[in-house]
């Protein structure tokens, strides 16, 4: 588990550093009438005209006899995370997510499970989303019994590019309301694929992460089932000899495929 968490944190740190150090270039057009226009020059015809696209998506055209000078600058790195929203990528306001997921249990107490979740929240800045969600999971235990759980969690997400295709890092933390279960923690990294034109919220998300789930674990001490983890009531297993292992991590590698709208 420590190696997986370290791996995810290293990837997230590298992406954050890359996003924070990228200085976005833009042009400033000074007109003879005193007006100043900032954006990206999309077309330039020497001695004749130019076109500039502003941050809000407008394309403005000027004759060169209207232009006093053009200056190219880099946006300050210190404020790169508070820049305005682009016409591509995440849009300011309400965002909703739905995903299906599968967790491959790892470690002595890891269990495989399948589930789905939904998250709802607000995009405060181009690189910051916060919300809350709920997740349903069905565990597949070795004795063929089915354990079903509901987890509520807080969600933080950061996307690194103002683009329809961007890597992101996400962190979920919450609690599973089931006897013998408790704290839930799920860091993950993934990619967002915009599915339509600019300023649309429809997108596909794919991610890989580690899921930490705290449980009170009991191990069957029998010759034919010495490695079986039991998450049910102890009373329901009273005909077995049980070893109490106390609070353990029922962790695993989680893969998610989802949509946002």
Please report the pLDDT score of residue 260 as a whole number: 93
Residue 17 lies in a domain: no
Residue 3 lies in a domain: no
The pLDDT of residue 232 is above 90:
no
- Phi, psi at 36, each rounded to 5°: -120, 125
pLDDT interval class at 182 (50, 70, 90): confident
Please report the pLDDT score of residue 136 as a whole number: 95
pLDDT interval class at 145 (50, 70, 90): low
Contact 208, 254 (CB under 8 A): yes
Same domain for 48 and 107, yes or no, is no
Residue 182 lies in a domain: yes
The pLDDT of residue 14 is above 70:
no
The pLDDT of residue 76 is above 80:
no
CA distance 181 to 151: 10
Could you give the number of structural domains in the chain? 2
CA distance 116 to 256: 9
Please report the pLDDT score of residue 175 as a whole number: 94
pLDDT interval class at 212 (50, 70, 90): very high
Please report the pLDDT score of residue 15 as a whole number: 47
pLDDT interval class at 97 (50, 70, 90): very high
Same domain for 44 and 98, yes or no, is no
For the ranges 121-125, 143-147, 195-199, 207-211, which has the lowest average pLDDT?
143-147
Same domain for 205 and 142, yes or no, is yes
CA distance 75 to 48: 28
- Please name the residues in contact with 219: beta carbons below 8 A apart, sequence gap of 6 or more: 226, 227, 228, 229, 230, 242, 243, 245
CATH number at 59 reads: 2.30.30.100
Instruction: Note down the domain range covering 58.
Output: 24-75
Same domain for 65 and 177, yes or no, is no
Neighbours of 90 (CB within 10 A): 28
Contact 165, 192 (CB under 8 A): yes
Same domain for 69 and 94, yes or no, is no
Contact 137, 146 (CB under 8 A): no
CA distance 165 to 181: 37
Same domain for 95 and 66, yes or no, is no
CATH number at 230 reads: 2.40.160.20
Residue 39 lies in a domain: yes
Residue 144 lies in a domain: yes
The pLDDT of residue 226 is above 90:
no
Q: If 0-12 CB within 10 Å is exposed, 13-18 middle and 19+ buried, where does residue 30 land?
A: middle
The residue out of 32, 52, 75 marking a domain boundary is: 75
Mean pLDDT in residue range 127-137: 95
Same domain for 58 and 126, yes or no, is no
Same domain for 128 and 39, yes or no, is no
Mean pLDDT in residue range 108-129: 90
CA distance 60 to 250: 58
Write out 144-211 in H/E/C secondary structure: CCEEEEEEEEEEEEEECCCCCEEEEEEEEEEEECCCCEEEEEEEEEEEEEECCCCCCCCEEEEEEEEE
CA distance 1 to 210: 8
Residue 47 lies in a domain: yes
Same domain for 34 and 114, yes or no, is no
Please report the pLDDT score of residue 185 as a whole number: 95
Same domain for 209 and 121, yes or no, is yes
Please report the pLDDT score of residue 21 as a whole number: 47
Same domain for 70 and 190, yes or no, is no
226 vs 184, higher pLDDT: 184
Mean pLDDT in residue range 186-200: 84
Residue 11 lies in a domain: no
Residue 229 lies in a domain: yes
Threshold 0.75, pTM exceeds: no
Mean pLDDT in residue range 9-25: 51
CA distance 27 to 254: 44
For the ranges 11-25, 48-62, 73-87, which has the lowest average pLDDT?
11-25
> Running DSSP on this structure, what letter comes out for residue 240?
S
The pLDDT of residue 202 is above 80:
yes
Same domain for 103 and 141, yes or no, is yes
What average pLDDT does the structure give for the chain?
Answer: 78
Contact 36, 77 (CB under 8 A): no
């Amino acid at each position: 588990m420590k190696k997986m968490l370290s791996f995810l944190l290293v990837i997230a740190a590298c992406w954050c550093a890359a996003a924070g150090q990228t200085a976005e270039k833009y042009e400033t057009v000074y007109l003879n009438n005193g007006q100043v226009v900032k954006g990206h020059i999309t077309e330039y015809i020497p001695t004749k005209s130019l076109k500039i696209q502003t941050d809000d998506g407008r394309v403005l055209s000027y004759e060169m006899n209207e232009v006093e000078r053009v200056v190219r600058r880099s946006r300050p790195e210190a404020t790169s995370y508070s820049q305005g929203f682009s016409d591509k990528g995440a849009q300011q306001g309400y965002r909703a997510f739905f995903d299906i997921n599968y967790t491959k249990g790892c470690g002595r107490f890891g269990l495989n499970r399948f589930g789905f979740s939904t998250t709802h929240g607000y995009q405060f800045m181009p690189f910051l989303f916060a919300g809350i969600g709920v997740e349903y999971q069905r565990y597949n235990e070795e004795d063929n019994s089915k354990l079903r759980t509901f987890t509520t969690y807080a969600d933080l997400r950061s996307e690194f590019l103002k683009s329809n295709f961007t890597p992101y890092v996400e962190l979920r933390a919450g609690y599973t309301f089931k006897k013998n279960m408790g704290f839930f923690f799920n860091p993950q990294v993934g990619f967002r694929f915009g599915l339509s034109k600019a300023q649309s919220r429809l997108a596909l998300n794919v991610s890989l992460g580690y899921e930490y789930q705290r449980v009170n674990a009991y191990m069957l001490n029998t010759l034919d089932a010495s490695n079986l983890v039991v998450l049910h009531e102890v009373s329901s297993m009273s005909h077995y000899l049980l070893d109490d292992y106390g609070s353990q991590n029922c962790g695993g590698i989680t893969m998610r495929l989802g949509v946002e709208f």
